[in-house]
Structure 1
Amino acid sequence: MPDGFDTRETWPFECLRCLYVWEEDFVVRHLTDNYGNEVEIWLSSGVSVPPPRSGGCCPHCGAYHVTSFPSGYLARHPELVPAPEPEPAPVFVPAIEPVRVPDERSHLPGRLLVALGVPLAAFVGYELYANLVAAARPHH
């Protein structure tokens, strides 16, 4: 039966591409199995993740050029923490009246009937003409 305990750690990071600074909270589960082997499982929001020392991804620009600071570094240097971005102003969207759908089925538009009817009429007319011409020729 494995024996263990959990600790909470906050790691500060900085993106070397866009210079964005942020902190992430982790739960580190320290386990020891029946043979004395120790293992750490890193969790972020309850999901198993690689240890933060193995690198990460910037949530601002998506770059993988990230460095970390010692724990508590940002608390001692608040000037590095970016000010929160202001909330965007709400956008007024006028109400749109619902479109009424007719209860009965609409008739096919005239253009569709013309698009289907004209080629059909031309084909039938050609076949009639070809049969009349063939019938008018004398048979030898």
Structure 2
Amino acid sequence: MHDGFESRESWPFECLRCLYVWEEDYVVRHLTDDHGNETEIWLASGVPVQPPWSGLSCPACGAYHLTSFPAGYLARHPELAAAPDPVPLAKVPVIPIKDIAPPVARPPLPRRLLIAVGLPVVAFVGYELYAYMAPIAHHH
């Protein structure tokens, strides 16, 4: 690999779960090999990372449902980035298991409902199988 050039990119993000807004800074190394194939290596704080569109999670709540803004968007809209930094996920207080309420058991579905939904499905599948197999049986 031959070193090509490096560029710096800032990607603003918003979590679609908790609405936290933040910005990640990257260095992108653009490389070309002896055959002319190009590749990019993304670095965050000098460490190779996945590109920002691949597998990033919210630092506030850990969700993976994010959206990004165009570069420079937060500089033009500082009111979006005014939220304080979130508490890192590792420092979230741990609730002892004895303090967690047991899950509420779901009542079983009534048999009549299962029959009311299941019988039409079985009838439809049976008819489709019959309609498919009948012409085949008549040809032999």
TM-score band by shorter chain is 0.5 to 0.7
Residue aligning to 1:59: 59
- Give deviations 1:41-100, integer Å, cap 9, x for gaps: 000111111111224100011111111100001111111113336xxxxxxxxxxxxxxx
Stretches of structure 1 lacking an aligned partner (at least 5 in a row): 86-140
Instruction: Say whether the 8 Å CA contact 1:55–1:67 is kept in structure 2.
Output: no
Instruction: Say whether the 8 Å CA contact 1:20–1:82 is kept in structure 2.
Output: no
TM-score by length of 2: 0.57
Identity of aligned pairs, percent? 76
Runs of 4+ in 1 over 4 A off after TM superposition: none
TM-score by length of 1: 0.57
Equivalent pairs counted in the alignment come to 85
Residue aligning to 1:17: 17
Matched residue SS, 1:75: helix
| CA RMSD, Structure 1 to Structure 2 (Å) | 1.3
Instruction: Say whether the 8 Å CA contact 2:14–2:22 is kept in structure 1.
Output: yes
Distance 1:32 1:83 in 2: 40
Distance 1:5 1:69 in 2: 24
Matched residue SS, 1:82: coil
Residue aligning to 2:74: 74
Residue aligning to 1:5: 5
Stretches of structure 2 lacking an aligned partner (at least 5 in a row): 86-140
**How far is 1:3 from its partner?**
3.2
Distance 1:25 1:12 in 2: 9
Larger Rg, first or second structure (1 or 2): 1
Matched residue SS, 1:58: coil
Matched residue SS, 1:54: coil
